[in-house]
Structure 1
Amino acid sequence: MIVRCTHITSPATGEVVTDHPSIRVGAEYPVLEVLTTANRVLLRIPELLDTTEYRDSPGLWDAAMFTVVSSRMPSCWVAALEDGRLTLAPREWQRAGFWDDYFDDVPAAVDEYARLRAAILADV
Structure 2
Amino acid sequence: MIVRCIQIISPATGKVVTDHPAIRVGAEYPVLEVSTTARRVELRIPELLDTTDYRDRPGLWDAAMFTVVSSRMPSCWVAELEDGRLTLAPREWQRAGFWEDYFDGVPAAVDDYDRLKAEILADA
- Matches of 2:53 and 2:106 in 1, distance apart? 17
Match of 1:29 in 2: 29
Q: How far apart are residue 48 of structure 1 and its match?
A: 2.0
Q: How far apart are residue 123 of structure 1 and its match?
A: 0.6
Which segments of structure 1 move beyond 4 Å, counting only runs of 4 or more?
Answer: none
Offset from partner CA, 1:85-109 (integer Å, 9 cap, x none): 0000000000000000000111100
In the TM superposition, 1:69-80 aligns within 5 A as 69-80=69-80
Amino acid at match of 2:82: E
Q: CA RMSD in A?
A: 1.0
Aligned residues: 124
- Matches of 1:33 and 1:22 in 2, distance apart? 17
- Matches of 1:102 and 1:53 in 2, distance apart? 13
Unmatched 5+ stretches in structure 2: none
SS in 1 for 2:121: helix
In the TM superposition, 1:1-124 aligns within 5 A as 1-50=1-50, 53-124=53-124
Taking structure 1 as the reference length, the TM-score comes to 0.97
- Matches of 1:117 and 1:51 in 2, distance apart? 19
Q: Check the 8 A contact 1:49/1:55 in 2, yes or no.
A: no
Amino acid at match of 1:74: P
Identity over the aligned pairs, expressed in percent?
Answer: 85
Q: How far apart are residue 50 of structure 1 and its match?
A: 4.9
Unmatched 5+ stretches in structure 1: none
- Matches of 2:53 and 2:103 in 1, distance apart? 15
Q: How far apart are residue 53 of structure 1 and its match?
A: 3.4
Q: How far apart are residue 54 of structure 1 and its match?
A: 2.8
